[in-house]
Each structure stands twice: as structure tokens, then as C-alpha cells.
């Protein structure tokens, strides 16, 4: 299937590593020009995305700073000629293992998470929306997480549910102008952090790393962890004109949660 992304202009935040980088690669492979946004530019990330032959614009911006976000978007519009796609992925990854108890979660921790993952996403969406509305087309995809569907982590639940609520509100407002907004909930995903996480789990459990990896895999219906590239395939579709029938909704991309039914 041709996703009709060739020549589209995309911004991916949190693009220096992990799911953000995988998404940038997937979009570039489909022919999109990319603005790679992160707090610090990564030459390795630029090289990986540029190998697909599209334009790549590395930009350093802190999404907790509204002025920095506005300047970033204006530069993308000036250098790439506009913006068609925004993928919000700039956020601290969920912590594996035991979480801070709800009764001991500090105000400072909650504020930090909201500044980056909720308000940061809103700042970026707010900056691109006028450009998308003016051209009658746009795709905004917010990377959230399956902690939205659990209560084991107060921080994870609240920030990810908030992203889903933000997504729905933006979709209601922007849909009539041809702009769709969706949220993707990855689960525990294979990234560059995974080997260290598996080693730590093996040490804590007193098992081999292979046994620790297998135990993590049993948390999915696939019996293994989903990779960042596999999550990126889902995001690439949602970022494309082909996905017009989906907006305001959450799409889980974690390999399936055993023993539960969502409807």
C-alpha cells in the first residue's frame, strides 16, 4: 500500500532515539521530509534518517519552552515549505519495575511529567495547527503509553490518560478542517534501553537474561516484546492520508494485553 507520504513535511519530537527515531525512519522510508526535534541534535539519528534520501532538518528545541516550540515550527515551515505531520514523542520513557506508590508521588514529579508529555504535546500541536488548518490537511499523532489502561503507576496513568483526552479535544476541533489527531499507546518496547533493562531484571530475579526477556515477553499476546520499528509502522499509517477514518481515538501498539477485552 502506498501511504501517500512522498513529499510530505513531518516534524517528529523526541527523534534522537527510541520510538521517536524509529518513527522518523519509517516516515523517511515512505518519502517524507523530516524535521528531527530533540533537546540536543544527534548526528547518528540524522545519518540513520538521511539514508532514505529525503530532506532531513535537525533541530534542537525544548518542548517545555513555548517560545522554543514556536521558533522550531516557524523554521520548519521556512525551510521545508510547510508542515503536514506532527508526531509528538518527546517524553521520559516509562520506568520499568516497581513504581512510586500513589501516596508517595510528589507534586514535583507530577508537574515535571505534565510539562513535558502533556503540555509539551499541546505546545507543539498548538504551533502546527494554524498551518495545517490553512492548507486543509494535517496529521497529529501523540505517542502515549499503555499505562493509560492500568493503575500500577500513578504518574504513567495520569499523564497518558491526559494525552488521550488532549487528543480527543484536538480531534473534535480540527477534524472539520481536514486535520486528524490520534494517540498511540505502546507498551514495553524494544529500544536501545532494552538490553540494560533485561540485565537489571535478570539480576534482580536471579535468572539468566534469556529467562528475564522471556518473562517480559509473556506480558503480551504475541509472547514477545514489540520493537520500536513495529510501533513506527503503526504511526506511519496514522500519519498518512490513508488514515482519514481514524481520529480522536487511541490505538494500542504493545503486542496485545493478555486476559483483557477492550471494546
Query: For 68, phi and psi rounded to 5 degrees?
Result: -65, -40
* pLDDT at res. 152: 83
Mean pLDDT of 133-150: 96
Please give the helix or strand (H or E) that residue 71 lies within, else none: helix 66-80
Label residue 204 by pLDDT band (50, 70, 90): confident
Q: Is the pLDDT reported for residue 232 higher than 90?
A: yes
Q: Look up the CATH number of domain 9-94+105-188+225-250.
A: 3.40.50.720
Contacts of 105 (CB under 8 A, 6+ apart): 154, 155
* pLDDT at res. 193: 87
Provide the strand spans (E) within the chain: 9-13, 33-38, 56-60, 85-88, 138-143, 179-186, 189-190, 226-227, 250-253
Q: Is the pLDDT reported for residue 73 higher than 90?
A: yes
Q: Is the pLDDT reported for residue 243 higher than 70?
A: yes
pLDDT > 90: percent of the chain: 75
Q: Is the pLDDT reported for residue 18 higher than 80?
A: yes
Label residue 156 by pLDDT band (50, 70, 90): confident
* pLDDT at res. 218: 92
Label residue 86 by pLDDT band (50, 70, 90): very high
| 33-37, 180-184, 211-215: range with lowest mean pLDDT | 211-215
* pLDDT at res. 94: 66
- How far is Cα 20 from Cα 14, in angstroms, rounded to an integer? 5
Amino acid at each position: 500500500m502506498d501511504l501517500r507520504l512522498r513529499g510530505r513535511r513531518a516534524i517528529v519530537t523526541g527523534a534522537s532515539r527510541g520510538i521517536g527515531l524509529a518513527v522518523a525512519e519509517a516516515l523517511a522510508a515512505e518519502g517524507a521530509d523530516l524535521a528531527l526535534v530533540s533537546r540536543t541534535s544527534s548526528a547518528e539519528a540524522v545519518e540513520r534518517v538521511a539514508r532514505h534520501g529525503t530532506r532531513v532538518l535537525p533541530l534542537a528545541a525544548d518542548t517545555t519552552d513555548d517560545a522554543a516550540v514556536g521558533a522550531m515550527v516557524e523554521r520548519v515551515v521556512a525551510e521545508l515549505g510547510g508542515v503536514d505531520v506532527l508526531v509528538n514523542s518527546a517524553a521520559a520513557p516509562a520506568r520499568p519495575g516497581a513504581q512510586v506508590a500513589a501516596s508517595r508521588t510528589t507534586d514535583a514529579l507530577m508537574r515535571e511529567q505534565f510539562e513535558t508529555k502533556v503540555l509539551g504535546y499541546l505546545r507543539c500541536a498548538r504551533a502546527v495547527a494554524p498551518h495545517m488548518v490553512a492548507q486543509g490537511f494535517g496529521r497529529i499523532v501523540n505517542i502515549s503509553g499503555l499505562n493509560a489502561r492500568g493503575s500500577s503507576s500513578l504518574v504513567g496513568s495520569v499523564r497518558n490518560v491526559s494525552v488521550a483526552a488532549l487528543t480527543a479535544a484536538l480531534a473534535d476541533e480540527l477534524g472539520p478542517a481536514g486535520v486528524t489527531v490520534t494517540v498511540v499507546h505502546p507498551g514495553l518496547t524494544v529500544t536501545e534501553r532494552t538490553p540494560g533493562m533485561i540485565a537489571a531484571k535478570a539480576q534482580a530475579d536471579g535468572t539468566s537474561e534469556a529467562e528475564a526477556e522471556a518473562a517480559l515477553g509473556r506480558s503480551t499476546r504475541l509472547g514477545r516484546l514489540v520493537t520500536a520499528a513495529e510501533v513506527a509502522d503503526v504511526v506511519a499509517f496514522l500519519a498518512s492520508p490513508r488514515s482519514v477514518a481514524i481520529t480522536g481515538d487511541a490505538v494500542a501498539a504493545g503486542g496485545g494485553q493478555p486476559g483483557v477485552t477492550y471494546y
